Chain A
Amino acid sequence: MINKALFKKPNNRLEGEQEAARDAEPTVVCAECKDTLPRAAVAGTDFVCPRCGTPLAMGARERIRWLTDEGSFQETETGHRAVDRLGFPGYAEKLVKAQRDSGEPEGVLTGLAAVDGEPCALFVMEPYFIMGSMGAVVGEKITRLFELATQECLPVIGYTVSGGARIQEGMFSLMQMAKTSGAVLRHSEKGLLYAAVLTHPTTGGVVASFAMEADVILAEPKAQIGFTGPRVIEQTMRQKLPPGFQRSEFMLQKGFIDRIVPRNAQKKELSMLLKLHGRGGRA
């Protein structure tokens, strides 16, 4: 059983973790205007490009630190490491590089946290780990988080970022779509809230599973959201894509997301949602 004291526990495991290689980099590049900014200029802010207002890529741990109440995050399922089940050529090296790039062992962080005093289960995908590619560990950790939330009657908040399936894990990757969907369904059947925040980019198998299965789907401005990436569509169809295709604003217009929420309003909106849904079943 998880008791309430857990949420008050001062031990925030964000500290003392291995520092990511990117933290040593002095600059960050805006995906939209390609402006190169000193990292110091955005650190401690909402991590938005000062020139064009586009949300900049945020590491999972960085985002958790930014979003959750200080000291509230209690990380779960920290022991999982990718297994090269297929002996896929080059995968072992790719994992080493991803771990170095992100400073994380895998592509998602999960845990229990509080947002503006509201307890929730939280998963945040890691853009610096092969762009949040979904392998078995990502699927397993998210599944376990939903199972824990179901058991503890907690709402789930999930931040997604993903280039899609992790091809190097073959069918083990594809099956995570089914597995996570089963866990989302069981959580939903208990009357609990699941709110997803789609960030740039959220594509492939993640869009075609838990990203689109949330009760409330929020998105960051200008995020690319779609099943097939634009490059593949252009190559396959020899078709030039219209401007803004698959961006959050386009997806909102087409009816596939509920709201576009800028960084500086996310914490407030998420806590409002948690309160409006009676703590997702706990009220």
Chain B
Amino acid sequence: MTTAYERVQAARRKGRPTADYYMQRLFTDFLEMHGDRRYGDDPAIVAGVGRLTGRPVTVIALEKGVTTEEKISRNFGSAHPEGYRKALRQMKLAEKFRRPVVCIIDTAGAFCGVGAEERGQGQAIAENLMVMMGLTVPIITVFIGEGYSGGALALGVADRVWMLENAVYSVISPEGAASIVWKDAGKATEACEALHMTAQDLLACGMAERVFSEEDGDFDKVCSALGTALADELVALSALDAETLTVKRYARFRAMGGEET
């Protein structure tokens, strides 16, 4: 039995593939598109257009970076408002050109800092949630490592949410939860369990549709399974008309925490 804390450790382990690894293997003809046309380009989010088994798709990924230098330049995968606005721009283009959206998430959360606040971190995330709820093309979001708070949800309003075996998704990081609830960041281990944040937890409560085995660390095999699943699921979702798609997407989230009391 793997504990939640062990999953979090695995999700953070040095050498674990970041978004770029999956993008290299899942998509061909990928062209990165930079900038939000409002303020700047946020390297924490990589977005663009490529092909999945031949068909054009929009890809948006939170990228933590691999080398120390790259990690710093990508702000360790914590996006600023301009990152979310870049993602939004690409989603609107996906809708225009009738291609599905694949989001890949790996982030410790939206960046907290003066600049992010001044440029409207809350507004940027809010707008993504609302636009994604009505986007008329399929959206699949895959969690490959960590995903916390509104910074993950801002790319997570999807028709399908898939998670790798050791991926975690939580309202807040375990350290953040521990310091707010118990005023002690050292209680992160307890918080991991209390938050019910593992892929298995989310599958059980319907917040994730699939969990992918990590094949004992053979991530090429993981990519191959993911690629097949994405191709199949996008065919199925693309068969739905826009109205049905968005009604089902709303219903997916509408049911969460909503039973009659």
A: residues with CB less than 8 A from B are 79-81, 83, 85-86, 88-90, 135-137, 139-140, 143, 165, 167-179, 181-182, 184-186, 188-189, 203-205, 207-213, 225-228, 232-233, 236-237, 239, 241-242, 245-246, 254-256
Interface of B is mostly: helix
In the complex, what's the smallest C-beta–C-beta distance from B188 to chain A, in angstroms?
13
The one of B122, B196, B261 in contact with A81, judged by C-beta atoms closer than 8 angstroms, is: B261
B123 within 8 A of A: yes
The one of B116, B196, B261 in contact with A86, judged by C-beta atoms closer than 8 angstroms, is: B196
Closest residue of B by beta carbon distance from A250: B118
The 10 residue pairs across chains A and B that have the minimum distance between CB atoms: A136-B257, A207-B122, A228-B112, A181-B129, A227-B122, A212-B126, A208-B125, A172-B257, A175-B256, A227-B121
The one of A90, A140, A185, A241 in contact with B114, judged by C-beta atoms closer than 8 angstroms, is: A241
A236: chain B residues at CB < 8 Å are 112-113
In the complex, what's the smallest C-beta–C-beta distance from B243 to chain A, in angstroms?
12
B17 within 8 A of A: no
A227 CA to B157 CA, complexed, in Å: 19
Number of residues in B with C-beta < 8 Å to the partner?
Answer: 49
A228 CA to B205 CA, complexed, in Å: 28
Closest residue of A by beta carbon distance from B190: A89
Q: Are A90 and B258 in contact, CB atoms less than 8 angstroms apart?
A: no
A130 CA to B126 CA, complexed, in Å: 22
B127: chain A residues at CB < 8 Å are 212-213
Within B221-261, the residues touching A (CB, 8 Å) are 249-250, 253-254, 256-259, 261
> Interface 1/0s, chain B 140-170, versus A by CB < 8 A?
0000000001100110110000000000011
B118: chain A residues at CB < 8 Å are 254
B177 within 8 A of A: yes
Interface centre among A79, A172, A207, A227 (most CB of B within 10 A): A227
Q: A136-B257, A165-B171, A207-B122 are in contact. List 10 more A-B contacts (CB 8 A).
A: A79-B261, A88-B194, A168-B181, A174-B153, A182-B254, A205-B149, A208-B121, A225-B122, A227-B110, A233-B112
A69 CA to B18 CA, complexed, in Å: 56
Q: Are A209 and B126 in contact, CB atoms less than 8 angstroms apart?
A: yes
A165 CA to B118 CA, complexed, in Å: 21
Closest residue of A by beta carbon distance from B117: A226
Q: Are B113 and A237 in contact, CB atoms less than 8 angstroms apart?
A: yes
B202 within 8 A of A: yes
A168: chain B residues at CB < 8 Å are 181
In the complex, what's the smallest C-beta–C-beta distance from B196 to chain A, in angstroms?
5
B172 within 8 A of A: yes
B207: chain A residues at CB < 8 Å are 171, 175
A209: chain B residues at CB < 8 Å are 125-126, 129, 150
Answer whether A174 and B149 are a contact pair too, CB < 8 Å, given A208-B122, A239-B113. Answer: yes
